Amino acid sequence: MAVRLQHVNIRTSDLQGTIDFYTKVIGLSQGERPDFDFAGAWLYDGMQPAVHLREVTEGSAQAGNTVDHFAFQVDSLDEAVAHLDRLGVRYRGPNYLPGTAVRQCFLQDPNGVIVELQGP
């Protein structure tokens, strides 16, 4: 059975700040979303809705009950880190995964969710 990441859902009390983070910092684009009876957004990686956001009340969207972390593959980690530097976004790394040629760095979204960027 083949599997792949379909999407991640994040609960947030800062919907616009979270949209801004994933579009401006990570490079996703905001796209179509079904007409749910709650506020939110779907953020796309190309044609794939990769990050679903659901707006919740303050206090119910703490990092402990959102998501721990998830990773985005990038074509060039050096370019991604340079982009973070230009935006003034704090991050940890880059570091090599032990025993591999894969590098990674970590940053946090406005909800405290850790986002990993991984690439050569």
Domains (ranges, CATH) in the chain? 8-119 (3.10.180.10)
More confident residue, 42 or 113: 42
Cβ atoms within 10 Å, residue 64: 7
- According to DSSP, the β-strands at 29-31 and 40-45 are antiparallel
Which tokens is 9 given? 């859902």
pLDDT at 78 over 90: yes
- Looking at mean pLDDT, say which of 56-60, 89-93, 110-114 comes out highest: 89-93
The pLDDT tens digits for 13-27 are 899 999 999 999 999
pLDDT at 111 over 50: yes
pLDDT at 88 over 90: yes
pTM for the model: 0.77
